[in-house]
Amino acid sequence: MALPRRSPAKAADTRERLLLAGLALAQRDGIKRLTVRAVARQAGANLGSFVHHFGTRDAFLDEVIERWYAPVFERLQLDAAAALVPLEALRTALLHLVGWLVDNRAFVAQLVLDAAAGEAAAQRFVRSLDARHPVLLLALIQRAQQAGALRRDDPLHQLLFLMTTLAVPVPMFHMALRQGAAPPALAQALTAFTTDLAQVELRLGWALRGLAPHA
């Protein structure tokens, strides 16, 4: 007797439910604490389905992280390709990136901690970043330099300045507040400055004026 064939639509639905469950659990508990059993239970699937669709926990986590990161990378690619004045394209991309970091600051902070703790999937993602949004931002900086809107210093140095001014404080102060590593009143005040997009845009204006050729 032939075994019943699995419906492609049903298989795709199961795969999607597993990915959504994995992302929800990773965002709640972090990558390092995520287990295959918890994902299958959350998705209402069995372990055999998990193995069928992903093979290993590591392969699954790579897909989960990509599912989380892909929307912002696609948004930044659109920013980089937009026919905007170069400095405005750079400003738009940076604000989109920082806005996404603000919305995802808890998971970003946990991902960094998981990478530091030896979680292989988190480490692979962090190591891959030099070929992702930093490349797009560097290209936008170079375009702005060629247009005469930014001074012609090392683009990587300018990117470091912009990221440490705008992006890095978002997860950093979230971790400080979460772990009690800074006086609570100070940590809360700094967190407010890093997560209020109006304040971020203000600092971005300061930073871009500081990088202007006449500065």
Ranges of each domain in the chain:
9-55, 69-210
Topology (CATH) of 9-55 = Arc Repressor Mutant, subunit A (1.10.10)
Which of 160, 183, 187, 184 is CA-nearest to residue 174? 187
Each residue of 34-47: pLDDT tens digit?
Answer: 999 999 999 999 99
Copy the structure tokens of residue 135: 């490349």
Query: What pLDDT, on the 0 to 100 scale, is given for residue 188?
Result: 76
Does residue 101 contact residue 155 with C-beta atoms inside 8 Å? no
Query: What pLDDT, on the 0 to 100 scale, is given for residue 192?
Result: 85
Query: What pLDDT, on the 0 to 100 scale, is given for residue 10?
Result: 67
Does residue 92 contact residue 82 with C-beta atoms inside 8 Å? yes
Low pLDDT (below 50) residues in the chain: 1-5
Query: What pLDDT, on the 0 to 100 scale, is given for residue 93?
Result: 97
Each residue of 177-202: pLDDT tens digit?
Answer: 777 666 777 777 888 899 999 999 99
Q: How many CA atoms lie within 13 A of 59 on its CB side?
A: 7
Quote the CA–CA distance of 75 and 80 in Å, as a whole number.
9
Query: What pLDDT, on the 0 to 100 scale, is given for residue 2?
Result: 42
Query: What pLDDT, on the 0 to 100 scale, is given for residue 215?
Result: 54
For the chain, state the CA radius of gyration. Answer: 21
